[in-house]
Structures are given as C-alpha cells and as structure tokens.
Structure 1
Amino acid sequence: MATAVPIPSTGRSGAVATVAARAEGVVKAYGAGETRVVALDRVTIDVRRGEFTAIMGPSGSGKSTLMHCLAGLDTVSSGRIWIGSTEITGLKDKKLTKLRRDHIGFIFQAFNLLPTLNAIENITLPMDIAGRKADTEWLDRVVTTVGLADRLKHRPNQLSGGQQQRVAVARALAARPEIIFGDEPTGNLDSRAGAEVLGFLRRSVDELGQTIVMVTHDPVAAGYADRVLYLADGRVVDDMAEPTAELVLDRMRRFDARGRVS
C-alpha cells in the first residue's frame, strides 16, 4: 500500500495547512464499450486540512461521485486517492471500513437518526457501536458549538428539521474525524434552518479545526466555504477561493450546461 506525504499549502488565514484528502488522476466509469459512461475524467485535487471546501456543478457533473470516491464509499476505475497519508485505493474492505469509522464523518440530506434514541444517544451511537468511549470534553464542546445543550434528551420527533440536522452534524463531529463529507446537508431544510446548520459547519472549521467537504447546488451554501470546486462532464473546470454567494452565482452564470465559460 502506497502512502503520501502530507503536502503543505496556504489557506485563507495564511497558515500552512496539510492535505486531508487527495485525488490523483481519478477516473470513474460505468459500463463498457458503447454503453460506457465516464463520471469522473482524470480528476486531481487536494483538500486542505482545516478548510471548508464546497463542490458544485450541474446535474450529472460528477460532484457526488467525486465525494463518494474521496470518502471511500465508491471505488475508482483508475487513479489514486488518499485520506491523510493513507492511500485508500485498493484497500481491503475490512481496513477501509475501519478507516471510514475512525477517520471520516458523514452528513447527508436525510438526517438518519434513530427515532427510539434521544439526541445525545444518536450523537454517540457510532462510537458506542465501535466500542469507543466518547471524549467528554470534546463532546461538550461539539454540543455547545452546534447549539444542542438544551435538546440532548429530546427524541427526533421532538426536534425541528434544523435541530435534527444539527444532531447529525454533532454525530459527525463527535468522533473527531480527520474529515467530514456532506452531501447536500441542507437540502431538506428551509432557508432559515439551512443557514443555521451552515453556520454551525463554518464554526466547526473556524473554532474546532474541522475539515469539511460539501456537495451542494446552492450558491448561498457554497458562500460559507473557503473554496469552491466546479465540476462539469466529470472534470474540475474552476477553483474559486474566498467565495461569496454573489461571486458563486455570477460564476455559475458564466458557465453553460457543459461547464465552459460563456
């Protein structure tokens, strides 16, 4: 198994960051011959540690496929992927499952909370299953950051949609993963609840040093990130630093459906 030396880079703060995840020449194709469809076409990117990266692109651009491959939820046809210094390409299922459990957090559109458990039980569930004891000090800090201190004994049906997604965010943060992947994490929320959750994700980066990669179609959501990667036809066609909702919307308008500048 090959390894990669963390690569220094400079983030928005000017501090030196290392690479939390890396894709090198990644191709993901489905089918063969005339039915072959290329979802990712020789993608090479670095995700810097301690930053919030958004991935955007039109439907079918490959953005969710890229996230799933980076997170080890899907395999690549060719190319290499690392999480930290560990190459996950070709990693055996058991080792890959352990790496995802110990080093990666996930937040999805669906909150995926167990209705019979209260908020704190849902938050600690992955660690309980893994037989790991929660770091009480860190858990308290996470709960405070996402504003759930007075909701920990409530079950999902006693929480609003925004509060349920905050529980999902806290669950992802609680195990202190190296990186968190979010697939349209505010897609099922109204604008107010979505803004709350995005604010908590931003705070988790700024105050807790978390690394987040989020797939989104929403310019407002992307405006919370440090960096936006644009995909089209399975390729990275642009890389924006220090985005705002207005800048992201303007950039999107400049791309036609195939991701070329108009």
Structure 2
Amino acid sequence: MTGGERGVTAAAAAARGVVKAYGSGETRVVALDRVDVDIMRGAFTAIMGPSGSGKSTLMHCLAGLDSVSEGRIWVGEQEITGLKDKKLTRLRRDRIGFIFQAFNLLPTLNAIENITLPMDIAGRKPDQQWTDRVIQTVGLAGRLKHRPNQLSGGQQQRVAVARALAARPEIIFGDEPTGNLDSRAGAEVLGFLRRSVDELGQTIVMVTHDPVAASYADRVLYLADGRLVDEMHRPTAEAVLDRMKHFDTLGRVS
C-alpha cells in the first residue's frame, strides 16, 4: 500500500487497523480496537479520553515506544511496524521528540547541556541558529547556565520542550506535559508548544485530560474503550468539556 493509497502523504504519522491487546484468553484486555488515524504535519493534535481509554497506548504505538498486536503504523512515509529494535531506536532518536510529565533532566547538567544532550549522544552538531531560535521561543535565554535544581518546575519543563525542539524532529509527542505544573506554568508551556507549531512549523501530538490544555490544539481526537469515537477542530475549553460529558454515550454507540 502506497502513501497515496493510504491518503496520508501529508501525515506526520498514521495508524491503520491498529489493535493493541495484553494477555490472552479470558485475561485478554484490548487497549486499542482497530484504530485508524492520521496525524497532520505542522499541526497540534490533542488526544483525550477517560482513564483506560487507550490514549497513552495510542501515542506510544505511534511513537514506536510500544508494538502493535495487529495493524500498521507509519512515521512519515516509513512503516515502523516490524522494524527491528536497532532501526526503531535510531528512528526515534533521529525523527521523534518526546516531552513527558516528568521533566527527565540530568541534574548534573545545566539547561543548555540538557537541551543539546540528545544530539551530543547521537554525535550530531547542533544547528546554533535553530537552537538559539528555540531558546528564544521558549523564553530560556537568561537561564541557560542554571542546573535543574536552580529552576522552577515550569522552567524545567521549558528546558524539556527546548530539548525536544532543538533536534528538529519530524514530530513531537507529549504525554501530559503540563501534568506536574500549576496552571500558570502549564499555560506558559502550552503557549510555547503552540508557538512552536505556528512559528517553527513543528508537529505536536499531546495526550491530556485537561480541556484547557486541549484548547491549545488545532484538533482533538477522542478515544473511548480503545476506539476513536470523535474529533473536534478549533476546540475551545468549554466545547471540549461539553464533549467529554458524552464519552459514555459515545463509547456505547460507536
């Protein structure tokens, strides 16, 4: 099947017929149930759903962090289902960025060293002009020599965002990236993610349970019982909250 036949030539990532199941027999649990989805390039996509709906599982499968039981996953035009571990590791390192709820900064390194660490490990020389632009975008210019313990939680997450952006990945995945932050710091980080899409052309996929966080996205995908049951474009926090009230109904009728 070609990219044209899949209709995902503009997609940064795609899933077709994806099933993810754990266990077997009576103990078998289906986390994803035949999911089809395209993640558009240069857009901010939020994935929402109740606890246990499969939203983090979908993100992990799209990012090559978890394997699928059935179906196919693409990153750009490259199918990643069936890739050997070494090739998958290289693909994640070279083409994908990650931002997690835990900041995952090395305490012995200062901010700029944490930002360039993935490229240092990969033996790639950072693009100084791009790195400077990223640092300006996330507002870290005055904090580059500070170590994590000298930074607030919001500043640490800004470093994590800059680290993901600096390597110029094709797509960035965020798993509740503002989950450990207060509302003000969370709004700052979400603003930086929004700006990275609008000003730097980044592609972002974020799992969140927060309607306010989802309102920063261009598109919200809703999962229930492992299935994609709805989507919303140009969301507002109020509209997202209203839609979430109908998850049980959506799960039953889909």
Structure 1 residue 255 displacement after superposition: 2.4
What are the within-5 Å matches in structure 2 for residues 23-102 of structure 1? Answer: 23-102=15-94
Structure 1 residue 6 displacement after superposition: 9.4
Q: Distance in 2 between matches of 1:99 and 1:5?
A: 22
Q: Distance in 1 between matches of 2:7 and 2:16?
A: 16
C-alpha spacing 1:66/1:161, structure 2 compared with 1 (3 Å): same
Q: Deviations over 1:173-225 (max 9, x none)?
A: 00000000000000000000000000000000000000000000000000000
1:242 aligns with 2:219: no
What is the identity percentage for the equivalent residue pairs of Structure 1 and Structure 2? 83
1:156 aligns with 2:156: no
Q: Distance in 2 between matches of 1:30 and 1:238?
A: 24
- Give SS of 2:143's match: coil
Structure 1 residue 3 displacement after superposition: 6.0
Q: Distance in 1 between matches of 2:249 and 2:32?
A: 16
The answer (yes or no) to whether the contact 1:7–1:18 under 8 Å persists in 2 is no
What is the letter of the counterpart of residue 246 of structure 1?
A: E
Structure 1 residue 18 displacement after superposition: 1.2
Give structure 1 stretches of 5+ with no counterpart: 10-16
Q: Distance in 1 between matches of 2:5 and 2:27?
A: 38
Q: Distance in 2 between matches of 1:91 and 1:85?
A: 14
C-alpha spacing 1:226/1:80, structure 2 compared with 1 (3 Å): same
The answer (yes or no) to whether the contact 1:4–1:86 under 8 Å persists in 2 is no
Q: Deviations over 1:70-122 (max 9, x none)?
A: 00000000000000000000001111111000000000000000000000000
Give structure 2 stretches of 5+ with no counterpart: none
1:4 aligns with 2:37: no
- What TM-score comes out, normalization by structure 2 length? 0.96
What is the letter of the counterpart of residue 63 of structure 2?
A: A
The answer (yes or no) to whether the contact 2:49–2:247 under 8 Å persists in 1 is no
Q: Distance in 1 between matches of 2:213 and 2:3?
A: 31
Structure 1 residue 254 displacement after superposition: 2.3
Structure 1 residue 4 displacement after superposition: 3.0
What is the letter of the counterpart of residue 3 of structure 2?
A: A
What is the letter of the counterpart of residue 144 of structure 2?
A: L
The answer (yes or no) to whether the contact 1:25–1:80 under 8 Å persists in 2 is yes
| Match of residue 190 from structure 2 | 198
Structure 1 residue 258 displacement after superposition: 6.7
The root-mean-square deviation of aligned C-alpha atoms, in Å, is: 1.6
- Give SS of 1:213's match: strand
C-alpha spacing 1:139/1:6, structure 2 compared with 1 (3 Å): farther
The answer (yes or no) to whether the contact 1:49–1:211 under 8 Å persists in 2 is yes
1:142 aligns with 2:134: yes
| Match of residue 254 from structure 1 | 246
| Match of residue 180 from structure 2 | 188
C-alpha spacing 1:6/1:47, structure 2 compared with 1 (3 Å): farther
- Give SS of 2:93's match: helix
What is the letter of the counterpart of residue 112 of structure 2?
A: I
- Give SS of 2:14's match: strand
What is the letter of the counterpart of residue 103 of structure 2?
A: F
The answer (yes or no) to whether the contact 2:229–2:250 under 8 Å persists in 1 is no
Higher-helix-fraction structure: 2
